[in-house]
Chain A
Amino acid sequence: MKPTKNNSADDSDIIRETIGSVKDFKRAIHSKKDLRDGLNAARLSVLPSLIPEIVCELLESPLYLKQISRDPFPKTYPEIKRGRPLRTAADAVEALWTASVLKFHTNELNKMLSARQAYESEVLLGEFDEALNALNYIEAQFGYSLWLIGSKISLLQMKGGTLAQKEFLQQGIISSDVNPMIAYLSYLVSIACEENVSLAELLREWGKLERAGIPPHALEYMRYQINPFDMSHVREPWKCCSAEENSPVLDRLDTFLEMAQLITVRATSVDQLKYLRQACDLIAGISDRRVGNLRHLLSSPVTLNISGVPAAVPEDLLIEQPTATAIEQKWQEALDVLPRINHLESIARSRLLTQTDPNEGIQSIPVAAAVNAFEQVIALSNKYEQSRISLQKQALLLRRLPLSRMIAAFLDKSEDRVIADMANETEAIWTLSSDFWHPLELPIVKMLTDATIEFTGRPIGQAASVRMSRAALFPTTHTFKELEDAPASPKYIELFQAHAEFNQGKFGRALKRYRSFRNRCTGWEATRALIFQYRCARSLGQFKTGIQVFTDNYVRGELIHLVIPMEDLASWVIDTEDVDNVAIDRTIALRAYTTNVSNKHESDLSDAFEEVLDFYEVEKPSELFATLGKVDALNLAKLKFFWSEVCTIRTMEDCTRFPAYNDVEAERIAILESLLAKFPEMSNALGAELSSLALEQQIAHLTEQFDRSRIYVNEVGVKQFIRVELADAVTRYRRLLLRPDIAIDLNVIERHLKKLLTGERDTYKPTAPASERTGLFLGIVDLMTDAFVLSPEHGFKTYLSTRILHGALEGELRSSFLKYNLLFAASTEDEFDEIWKPKLAVGASDFRTIRNGVFRFSKKINEAIIYLKMERARVKSSATPNGLFDFEGQLREPQELQGEVDHLTLSADVADTIVRYLWKKVDASLVVVRHEIDVVFRREVTSALEVLRQLLLRRSEMAGVEAMLDATTRAYSDFQTSMERVLSWFQRAGALPIRPFKLKVAGEVAAKMANSGFPTRPISVCWEGNCDLEFRGSAFELLIDILQNCFRNANEYSGFVDRPPDVTVSANCDDFDVHIEVRNTLAKDIDIAELRSKIAERVQAASSGALPEIGRGRGVREIMLAVSQGGGKNTAVAFDVSDNSCFTVDFSIRYSEG
């Protein structure tokens, strides 16, 4: 018999069903050398309906028994899952095969299940010693299983902490020759049980496994085994079942039943699941409630025998006004029937009905801890989130207990299940493990079945809550009478009548009743009851009613977003248009969605925001303050919410009513200021935002101001510097103008002089002879030019160097490429590999080529920047002959100036005239420099980038290098913004006077500027002392110069690679000066002694003027220079390197209050 392919099966090489008898099946087994191979092939070709008969017959023979049910009760760890499982066959084959094997072990399984129940009771009650005994008994009687290992790890964690369970893991499992899957799963169980491992952390672990290339079905199996919240991620349930083929029988049973549950809740009709019903019938003898439930639900019609329902259940507490005594009694009853746990949620709810606050209870007993957390969640308390997380953790820890599934269902459940038409998977799976008649589960049973439910047995004597629940779910003409006569409080009778009306489609009447019910409720019960009103409005299509159920309560601070289905609400809001009278409500609903769920409807929020402005016919939201006084309290609350939560910068910058970011920010500030003025009680919520925005606005304004004044000369300082010398020369010049006869023509001598001094202009400039008029005037111009350009304290060159060339230019031009990891220093291949290896899907050879290409690119970019910085953006001189700032005027120009000076002109006016002339020279040079940057430098960079891109495209398929290609595109886009910024520095924009400012503001501006050169590790400054001290505006640039140098030096030389240093600024003042200390941490590998020595050398060199203008030590020089200009009484700057790796710059500046 040769198998043939069949497309209907799930593996690629699967096979048509050609085996039609036990005999053929045996023949197929023996057609291969190895019996397992034969079994693999035979299983893939067998008619599913024959499987029970085949398996039953084969298991009678010891020859086949060992192949079909290998090690069902392993006695050692290595025996668990020994050998590979059989290949996955078709769904029906997997189901019937597993069930047939399980049937064979029915007796042992029933004994195991009974022993397991004893263990579960002890664990839930916190009797850990007894629980351990129970586990040891199971181990001794039935051997090992994954369930046993998982349970033991979990129990040891609860009993003895992480150390105990790790010891067991280490000694018992990891060290033995155990199946790798068991070892890895045990390790994951152990991690999941650890105290501080949350569900979120576990989810990150899956991400790592996915990236590591674990096959999806293996990953699904592992996730299912560890995480009770992952059932919905199992896409191919029978593959999980198939993975258990070589597992101990108890694991096979659990996985089979849970996968069968999953398939059942996902099926659109039971007709698709006849094979599963057949499989469940095979194991009808196994005493597990899940088997019975599946068999019931897979029947058509579904019959529920209700004669066994008790006369009283804890859920009865939920329809009466319970007393504390009654609750305590039911609690004890619930503990008596453990491990049955269906009643725990009802106990939690009824407890809440008798007390204001949720119970804190005993946390060491698992069942009590669960009930306590249920209470917090149900009550929407301030521990809501914390309790959900603790329940998640408990479910992870107790993954092998039914409580774990119950918790997963509880966390996923909706309040309105009694009137809902669809259940989610997690709660449906839990229902399939519970009593179907249970009032909390019956609604799910109703949703799960597409057939009629027939109730059999005697309804008399059943618990009232069960009867009322059934009446509301399956209303008849007698329902209302039945509910009216029920032994329940009138409030709950009304609730159940409302349910019944809803389920009959009478939504309007139901809505009235739900409103009436809610009016009788308080607290969490009232909030949770809103879902029913929302459902009615939704069914009636009454948008205004529905949205206001939400918004009326949300703006009052109720946690209604935890009760109303937010996805549904958002869809309804988006799909409903032309509802101007609820325009603000729409924004509130969408804002709530964005805050509490996700930002996917942010665009819809901005649309809704604009609709509000259109509806009220205003241009800006702040104009709506004019409507105050015309609105009632509720609408006022909504308006306040609209202003404070909807009219954010993020929302407002989506519309075109504000032409620039500054306008958006100004509007937000205006709104906040108005809100705080009119509603001072909002200051706690909004005060911090207003301060932060004001600070940000000031920083932006001052940054702009500083950028506008990077090309700068301190004219007052320059003039002061040469005041006496200039006055003398001007006096002599004026005398010459009055007495031309004393002039001597020395043109010939001057020409000789100039010839002699060609090339020596920097060191000695030929001053025209005092007795010659033009020569004397040129001398005045030279004197002024020297001071204007070269004055070390006030001159053009100093400011050019401090504000542009030192760090800023290089940092800004490199920043975009650094940000996208395209610039690397020489010999940093390891760094490159670490960043790019995970992102480039190319072979080793291509990778090396790309790496070399990036290093070549880095070199070219660095060279272009250095050339620009060191050669071109410089004052033309013998040291920098290629400098583009050219102050060597044409001969004619000073002579034209000469005409502006007569015998009455004062020396100050002469100075102004020459300064105006020099600024014209600066302006002309700036045009040339900008051209150099915009054209020549840009071309260099563009060309280097294009070479890199070509290399990427040439060497590899684009799919493998797209991350780097995208990086080049993004970097180039950012580079153009950097270019705009740098180009703007090279112009005289005319800075405005700066208003008084706080030290902290100046510091943030300086940090922002310094950080532009370190985009991947920006510093964040910590402020201490009197940093809110206000300074005069004129001190701003001085402080920026000093602090920017401090911050840049800190980032560049502190020795940290992956992060910036910690930087702290502290300030204290006396009557005259402000003492400022800038501290930064140093990396451990910085040699303290060596650094001290270098700093001392540089300070010495800077003091003596020996320090070069470029290279290391430049920052020290500039800090000292700046302090000397604006320093306080003590103009010394102290640099210190402490033993505990801290670098400090200490200086004082004169304080003049702003």
Chain B
Amino acid sequence: MRILIVEDDKTKSARLQSFLKTKYPDEIPQFERSYQGGLARVELETFDLILMDMSLPTFNARPSVRLGRPRAFGGYDIMRKMHKKGLVAKIVIVSALEKFGEGDARMTFEEITEKCEDEFPELYAGAVFFKQSDSRWERRLGNILRRTFEKAND
């Protein structure tokens, strides 16, 4: 299974990686840290599973390098482009934020994940609310992966 993690938070990335190691010990996930990085990667390579953060910078964070605009819905933007270009993968949204965006565009975690599910049913596999301090997200992510890939294997 080819796995991509699109996440700009290193600590969260590491937690996701550890979790995946327990589930798929033989797989080595790839990492991207931005909207651009994530999108460019899925345009070039095929992944079975993508764990994707929702809020992302446009470009990879590097010292003294401008990141472009911050994207409250960067994960959604990637899914949108994938949908438009017919790119395929199973995507699980993993976010630690309850609310995204500002003003009229403000959405809750539930709202944005529902939107992803409605608009990109072929990509959306589920959503997990990530908490550093507990392991409920691991159980939920495990369930999603089991449901998604066992069904796919049936």
Contacts and interface: CB of A to CB of B under 8 A. Distances in A.
Interface of A: 603, 607, 650, 653-654, 656, 659-662, 664, 700, 703-704, 707-708, 942, 946, 949-950, 953, 958, 962-963, 965-966, 969-970, 972-973, 976-977, 980-981, 983-985
Q: What are the nearest 5 A-B pairs in CB distance?
A: A984-B63, A704-B64, A962-B98, A656-B40, A661-B66
Contacts of B39: 656
Interface stretch (B5-13, B23-31, B138-146): B5-13
Nearest to B61: A977
A962 B64 contact: no
A629 to B, nearest CB: 33
B43 to A, nearest CB: 6
B36 interface: yes
Contacts of B77: 603, 654
Given A607-B84, A946-B132, A953-B133, A980 B9 contact: no
Nearest to B38: A656
B66 A656 contact: no
A345 B10 CA distance: 63
Contacts of A953: 131, 133
A953 B129 CA distance: 14
Nearest to A977: B61
B133 to A, nearest CB: 6
Interface residues of B, number: 32
B101 to A, nearest CB: 11
A973 B59 contact: no
A23 to B, nearest CB: 55
Nearest to B8: A973
Interface in B36-73: 36, 39-40, 43, 55, 57-59, 61-69
Contact of B80 (A603, A949, A969, A981): A603
Q: Which of B9, B68, B84, B99 has the most CB of A within 10 A?
A: B68
B64 A973 contact: no
Q: Which of B59, B64, B66, B80 has the most CB of A within 10 A?
A: B64
20 contacts: A603-B77, A603-B80, A653-B58, A654-B77, A660-B65, A661-B59, A661-B65, A662-B66, A700-B66, A707-B63, A708-B64, A966-B97, A969-B97, A970-B55, A970-B97, A973-B9, A976-B8, A977-B57, A980-B62, A981-B63
A1006 to B, nearest CB: 15
B58 A703 contact: no
A585 B59 CA distance: 29
Contacts of A983: 63
B96 interface: yes
Given A659-B40, A972-B11, A973-B55, A653 B68 contact: yes
A965 B108 CA distance: 13
B133 A656 contact: no
- Chief secondary structure at chain B's binding surface: loop
Q: Which of B10, B63, B131 has the most CB of A within 10 A?
A: B63
Contact of A664 (B63, B68, B131): B68
A966 B9 CA distance: 14
Contacts of B99: 962-963, 966
Contacts of B61: 976-977, 980
A748 B90 CA distance: 76
A66 B68 CA distance: 70
A976 B10 contact: yes
Contacts, number: 80
B42 to A, nearest CB: 9
A700 B8 CA distance: 22
Nearest to A969: B96
A707 B62 CA distance: 12
Contact of A661 (B55, B68, B97): B68
A969 B65 CA distance: 22
A101 B1 CA distance: 76
Contacts of B66: 661-662, 700
Contact of B65 (A704, A949, A972): A704
Contacts of B43: 656
A929 to B, nearest CB: 15
A962 B95 CA distance: 13
Contacts of A707: 63-64
A976 B9 contact: yes
Contacts of B131: 949, 953
A990 B61 CA distance: 20
A35 B153 CA distance: 73
Contacts of A700: 64, 66
Contacts of B55: 970, 973
B137 to A, nearest CB: 13
A654 B40 CA distance: 11
B105 to A, nearest CB: 8
A966 B98 contact: yes
Given A603-B80, A946-B132, A970-B55, 18 more contacts: A603-B77, A607-B84, A650-B69, A656-B36, A656-B43, A660-B59, A662-B65, A704-B65, A942-B11, A962-B98, A966-B97, A972-B9, A973-B55, A976-B11, A980-B61, A981-B63, A983-B63, A985-B63
A954 to B, nearest CB: 10
Given A654-B77, A661-B66, A703-B64, A965 B36 contact: no
A983 B68 CA distance: 21
A661 B63 contact: no
A984 B62 CA distance: 9
Q: Which of A704, A973, A980 has the most CB of B within 10 A?
A: A973
A527 B59 CA distance: 43
A946 B9 contact: no
Contacts of B96: 969
Contacts of B80: 603
Nearest to A703: B64
Contacts of A708: 64
